[in-house]
Chain A
Amino acid sequence: MPSYSSSLLAAFEFASLPMLGWLAAAILPWLIHRWNRRQRHTTSWAAVDLLLTAVGQRSRQVKLQQWLLIALRTAILLLVAMAIAEPMLGRWASDSSKVGPRHTVVILDQSYSMSRRSQGSTCLDRAKAHARRLIESRPSGDVFSVVGWAQTTDNVLGRPTSDTSLALSAIGSLSQTEEIAHWSLALRAAKAALEPQKENRPALDQTEVVFFSDLARNTWLASPEEQSQWAELAKKASLTVVNVGDGQQDNIAIVDFTVEPPLLSPGQDVSFTATLQSFGDRAWENIEVELSIDGRSTLSQQVSLAAGATSTVRFRLSLENEGPHTVQVSIGGAVDSFSSDNRRWLVIEIRPRLQVACIAGKPGAADDVARALAPGKLSADIVQTIQPKISPVSLLSELDLAKYDALFLCSAADLNQREADQVARFVRAGGGLAVFLDGQTPTEPLSQLLPVTLHESVPLGEYRFDALNYTHPIVEPFRGNENAGLLKVAVMKYRRLEIKPERQTTETVLKFDAGDLALVVDRLGLGRVAVMAIPASLAIRAAEKNPWSSFSVSPSFLPVMRELLTHLVSRRRLESQNLQVGQAAAFAWDASRPETQVTVRRPDGAERMLMTPAAEDQGIILLAETTASGIYHVSAAGEEITRFAVNLDPLESDLSTINPQELPTGITTSTASSSAKGRADYAFAPSLLAGAAICLLAELTLACGLGRGWQ
């Protein structure tokens, strides 16, 4: 069994130790020299005095030259033998001569760039082979931790073990994922893996962390400030990265796949856009991009990409059938050796209409919103698509919110606990909530739902919206359409909002020119919540004299309301049904259903049962393990409840590797790549071969010179 050298040439590690047998060949020059001396000719000679004179002059020089030649020939054989033994210069190897047990943390990169295949083996295969050899080479008494590293890290053994077979088995259990990896997770995992050793075992003087990775640039690149985070770990343990990459950097990938508009109704024109990117130095000609809907190939286009370029392919079509559809875009044929990122999926849903409950806290408070959502006279499809229903706040508790897609609370902040709970359940199950504020202070239950803290109204004045460069999707349509009047809306008064410190996901859509928040959006459960600092109508309360703003009657009100609804409902729904690998999938469960389990069928066909939530729970089923890309189907009693698409994070499609000099100080690199057959092409081997070539050249020159009788 090949094993790493622990004593021989302690500074090196050899991937093909048996090849070191050829080192014995280094004795050949000396043997040949001895044999030649034995195979000498014999002749009688008269001019012995002259010969002795000549020998006396040249004896030392000749001996020196002969030994120099032998040394050169020996060096040639040694270097060649070492080169074919696939040496790797590693910190752990150099440490092997030290006395005392050692704790080695083996961290294997399982990210999907490690799945690329060359010469019959993947990078992960090579990483596992090298890790095994590393463990096998260690003396008894050493302890090991084995960590799988991708979007999450998994310390397979839990605690360090001195059982080599257990460690080897742990390495074998690590499988390829389709996740990305980031150095920060590896750092955290390494720190965590070294901790138990201090607690549960006698302190080991030597600790080391060996990362087996393809050194993907996006995985390892850290800013100088971030690199300092490694310093603490480097003080505790020696850090080595073994490069198991194959050096291949050319790759083409579909890095994005979107649908417009996100709000889809039957017969509506739909545009699917796939973004292709070329990585590396290769240009790609006539790449066929194919669109399939529900497994049927529908459209295809050809595209060419220059090296490093990005290109978009747009497919336009109309979908008639209501319900969920699976859309796949893929690159036809085996154009590159890394095919995982050559396809992406979308799950879309064609809905005939959206139901919106517009709750008015005072008469007329929701009229403008309802009108904006369903103008009635503008376009037939809009009328058919969005169906707002105005209800006074007093009837809120009687509404069956499960039938609605969104809830607009217009100056209706006075919710009791029951109503607030009803709204909260609705949002957490995936509904959209928009709250338009006026001078009324929201009740505490409602306040808890909102991502912002409400302060007093600002004094009367003239305020304008600040669209923040139209970066948010809700106001993005106004970009270049300044005449639409968004920035000219007259605001005389508004509630000052402040994002709650604990909310990390709150997005600011609009601000006032005074710098205060005007419109913010945040997530809550599966749904979204929007809060606007002004009312959605001109209606005023009894104590007030003037309306707060002219927004509800401005031309920009309609597009903002419609985009708000799209964002709250359709985009959120698209988001929840189209995930990236590693993202948790969540979907609402109708508590009235009798089933206690749902079945999740993964893209590879494997099925997993999930318990349905109890009726008193929030009604959300969570699937955390979206480790594979493709379509996941969720069904109960044979009926599909939902489906979602999981796509690769395109970060790992960039196969460029980080320069070892860019790695944090304290991390040494060892470059190696090998096939499944064990043949390796080490970056170190060429140096040895170059050394052998130099020795060969020197030998030839010296031997030739001696042949000519150099003095």
Chain B
Amino acid sequence: MTTISTSYLDPESLAKLQGLELRARYIVEGFQSGRHRSSHRGQSVEFTEHREYTTGDDLRYVDWKVFGKTDKVYLKQFEAETNLVCYLLVDISESMLYQSDPKQLSKLEYAQCLAAAMAYVVLRQRDSVSLATFDDQLRELIRESANPASLHQLVHLMASAEANQKSDLGKVLHEASSRFQRPGVVVVISDFLGDVDALLLGLKHLRYQRHEVVLLQVLDPAETDFQFDSPTRFEGLEALPDVLVQPRAIRQAYLAALAEFLKRIEAGCRSLQADYFRVRTDEAMDRVLQQVLRK
């Protein structure tokens, strides 16, 4: 196996790489170097329920015994087709485009890298991955698949996403709750800059649907440190108003507001037993992955 120095996994190095798939491979290869590769374990196919046949369903799953007794066509449903279904929800709203340093990744690029890397890891473990992009609604959805070749499709979907809309996480999570039928691990990658209450309600819905929920909050260093000196006009993304301020004068107030905001998300996640990770776009991604996957 090729050993890749972790120095190549820092966001600045990744930013130099063209192509999300290549970035994902670098991340995962770097992350997994030194780890034991997980062995593939056999699938467990266990019947759970029937449902009515609809046009296009695979005739192989028709329960002929039931058909013989009732003269109705039912399909057999199984508990799991793989060990794990991982739903990746990637925020592509306009706020994710923010990038304080052109040499670094934007939040969106960072989120895409994370999502691609996680998908790559999951697929290599023969688990299924589903990916959805969202802003104020679910935009694109690739249903769960354990086929390693689907990585290319996932990457293509993310790369072609256009970020120019507002986000509405509450609405999106409710929608996802109804769309993700199989309980799995829902990984939401976003900056979560929005209505916290709506976010927590959406998370509650997901938890109600027996999903494990992981929130990955991606923030730019400028957003967490607010190291601006000269008077600055902050042009609001997602149709928010522009604000002209002397940053040094309000820095402490801003950091206090940010801390309060993050605290609310963190407390909400804890109460809903959702995992919450906060990452900065200047953090090495392999460490982030390691932290998330260890959970």
* A58 engages B257 (CB within 8 Å): no
Interface string of A468-490 (1 = CB under 8 A from B): 00000000000000000000000
Q: Is B38 engaged at the interface, CB distance under 8 Å to the other chain?
A: no
Known: A47-B223, A48-B243, A49-B193. A54 touches B232 (CB 8 A): no
Known: A36-B230, A46-B193. A51 touches B248 (CB 8 A): no
Specify the chain B residue showing the minimal Cβ separation from A703: B248
Indicate the member of A37, A52, A706 with the most B CB atoms within 10 Å: A52
* B253 engages A57 (CB within 8 Å): yes
* B98 engages A44 (CB within 8 Å): yes
Q: Is B228 engaged at the interface, CB distance under 8 Å to the other chain?
A: yes
Q: How far is the CA of A457 from the CA of B238 in the complex (A)?
A: 129
Which residues on the B side are within 8 Å of A52 (C-beta)?
241, 243
* A43 engages B235 (CB within 8 Å): yes
Q: Is A340 engaged at the interface, CB distance under 8 Å to the other chain?
A: no
* B254 engages A54 (CB within 8 Å): yes
* B252 engages A46 (CB within 8 Å): no
* B252 engages A711 (CB within 8 Å): yes
Which residues on the A side are within 8 Å of B193 (C-beta)?
46-47, 49-50
Q: Is B149 engaged at the interface, CB distance under 8 Å to the other chain?
A: no
Which residues on the A side are within 8 Å of B244 (C-beta)?
37, 40
**Contact residue among B228, B231, B237 (Cβ-Cβ distance under 8 Å from A44):** B237
Specify the chain B residue showing the minimal Cβ separation from A709: B252
**Contact residue among A36, A49, A57, A709 (Cβ-Cβ distance under 8 Å from B231):** A36
Q: How far is the CA of A51 from the CA of B257 in the complex (A)?
A: 8
Indicate the member of A55, A65, A706 with the most B CB atoms within 10 Å: A55
**How many of B's residues come within 8 Å of A, CB to CB?**
37
* B249 engages A46 (CB within 8 Å): no
- Distance (whole angstroms) from the CB of A56 to the closest CB of chain B: 9
- Distance (whole angstroms) from the CB of A699 to the closest CB of chain B: 15
Q: How far is the CA of A36 from the CA of B231 in the complex (A)?
A: 7
* A41 engages B256 (CB within 8 Å): no
Interface string of A8-50 (1 = CB under 8 A from B): 0000000000000000000000000000110111111111111
Interface string of A687-710 (1 = CB under 8 A from B): 000000000000000000011010
Which residues on the A side are within 8 Å of B240 (C-beta)?
45, 48-49
Which residues on the A side are within 8 Å of B143 (C-beta)?
none
Q: Is B233 engaged at the interface, CB distance under 8 Å to the other chain?
A: yes
- Distance (whole angstroms) from the CB of A706 to the closest CB of chain B: 6
Specify the chain A residue showing the minimal Cβ separation from B255: A54
Which residues on the A side are within 8 Å of B228 (C-beta)?
41, 43
- Distance (whole angstroms) from the CB of B260 to the closest CB of chain A: 8
Q: Is B19 engaged at the interface, CB distance under 8 Å to the other chain?
A: no
Interface residues of B in 222-267 (CB under 8 A from A): 223, 228, 230-238, 240-241, 243-246, 248-254, 256-258, 261
* B256 engages A40 (CB within 8 Å): no
**How many of A's residues come within 8 Å of B, CB to CB?**
28
* A41 engages B248 (CB within 8 Å): no
* B250 engages A54 (CB within 8 Å): yes
Q: Is B112 engaged at the interface, CB distance under 8 Å to the other chain?
A: no
Q: Is A53 engaged at the interface, CB distance under 8 Å to the other chain?
A: yes
Q: How far is the CA of A36 from the CA of B230 in the complex (A)?
A: 8
Indicate the member of A37, A62, A65, A709 with the most B CB atoms within 10 Å: A709
Which residues on the A side are within 8 Å of B258 (C-beta)?
47, 50
Indicate the member of B97, B241, B254 with the most A CB atoms within 10 Å: B254
- Distance (whole angstroms) from the CB of B13 to the closest CB of chain A: 24
Which residues on the A side are within 8 Å of B241 (C-beta)?
48, 52
Q: Is A66 engaged at the interface, CB distance under 8 Å to the other chain?
A: yes
- Distance (whole angstroms) from the CB of A29 to the closest CB of chain B: 15
* A55 engages B245 (CB within 8 Å): yes
* B191 engages A40 (CB within 8 Å): no
Which residues on the B side are within 8 Å of A40 (C-beta)?
230-233, 244
Q: How far is the CA of A711 from the CA of B244 in the complex (A)?
A: 19
Known: A47-B223, A51-B245. A42 touches B235 (CB 8 A): yes
Q: How far is the CA of A207 from the CA of B237 in the complex (A)?
A: 73
Q: Is B95 engaged at the interface, CB distance under 8 Å to the other chain?
A: yes
- Distance (whole angstroms) from the CB of A151 to the closest CB of chain B: 69
- Distance (whole angstroms) from the CB of A590 to the closest CB of chain B: 98
Interface residues of B in 63-108 (CB under 8 A from A): 95-98, 100, 107
Specify the chain A residue showing the minimal Cβ separation from B244: A40
* A48 engages B234 (CB within 8 Å): yes
* B248 engages A706 (CB within 8 Å): yes
Interface residues of B in 156-207 (CB under 8 A from A): 191, 193
Which residues on the A side are within 8 Å of B100 (C-beta)?
43
Q: How far is the CA of A624 from the CA of B251 in the complex (A)?
A: 85
Q: How far is the CA of A707 from the CA of B256 in the complex (A)?
A: 17
Which residues on the A side are within 8 Å of B235 (C-beta)?
42-45
Which residues on the A side are within 8 Å of B233 (C-beta)?
40-43
Which residues on the B side are within 8 Å of A49 (C-beta)?
193, 240
Which residues on the A side are within 8 Å of B249 (C-beta)?
58, 62, 65-66, 706, 709
Specify the chain B residue showing the minimal Cβ separation from A65: B249
Specify the chain A residue showing the minimal Cβ separation from B222: A43
Which residues on the B side are within 8 Å of A706 (C-beta)?
248-249
* B250 engages A45 (CB within 8 Å): no
* B234 engages A51 (CB within 8 Å): yes
* A39 engages B252 (CB within 8 Å): no
Specify the chain A residue showing the minimal Cβ separation from B95: A46
Interface string of A66-80 (1 = CB under 8 A from B): 100000000000000
* B257 engages A45 (CB within 8 Å): no
Specify the chain A residue showing the minimal Cβ separation from B97: A44
Q: How far is the CA of A709 from the CA of B100 in the complex (A)?
A: 22
Which residues on the B side are within 8 Å of A62 (C-beta)?
245-246, 249-250
**Contact residue among A46, A51, A54 (Cβ-Cβ distance under 8 Å from B256):** A54
Interface string of B3-42 (1 = CB under 8 A from A): 0000000000000000000000000000000000000000
- Distance (whole angstroms) from the CB of B185 to the closest CB of chain A: 26
**Contact residue among B230, B232, B236 (Cβ-Cβ distance under 8 Å from A48):** B236
Which residues on the B side are within 8 Å of A65 (C-beta)?
249
- Distance (whole angstroms) from the CB of A55 to the closest CB of chain B: 6
Q: How far is the CA of A37 from the CA of B244 in the complex (A)?
A: 9
Interface residues of A in 349-372 (CB under 8 A from B): none
* B98 engages A46 (CB within 8 Å): yes
* B261 engages A51 (CB within 8 Å): no
- Distance (whole angstroms) from the CB of B168 to the closest CB of chain A: 14
Indicate the member of B238, B246, B251 with the most A CB atoms within 10 Å: B246
Which residues on the B side are within 8 Å of A66 (C-beta)?
246, 249
* A51 engages B254 (CB within 8 Å): yes
- Distance (whole angstroms) from the CB of A158 to the closest CB of chain B: 68
* B261 engages A48 (CB within 8 Å): no
* B257 engages A53 (CB within 8 Å): yes
Known: A41-B228, A41-B230. A50 touches B254 (CB 8 A): yes
- Distance (whole angstroms) from the CB of A609 to the closest CB of chain B: 85
- Distance (whole angstroms) from the CB of B196 to the closest CB of chain A: 10
* A41 engages B254 (CB within 8 Å): no
Q: How far is the CA of A66 from the CA of B244 in the complex (A)?
A: 14
* A43 engages B232 (CB within 8 Å): yes
Q: How far is the CA of A42 from the CA of B97 in the complex (A)?
A: 16
7 A/B residue pairs, CB under 8 Å, sorted by A? A41-B231, A46-B193, A47-B258, A55-B245, A57-B253, A57-B257, A709-B249
List the 3 closest A-B pairs by CB distance, nearest first. A46-B95, A54-B253, A45-B234
**Sample of 11 further A-B pairs with CB below 8 A, known A46-B96, A46-B193, A50-B254:** A37-B231, A44-B98, A45-B235, A45-B243, A47-B193, A47-B258, A48-B237, A48-B243, A51-B234, A55-B253, A709-B251
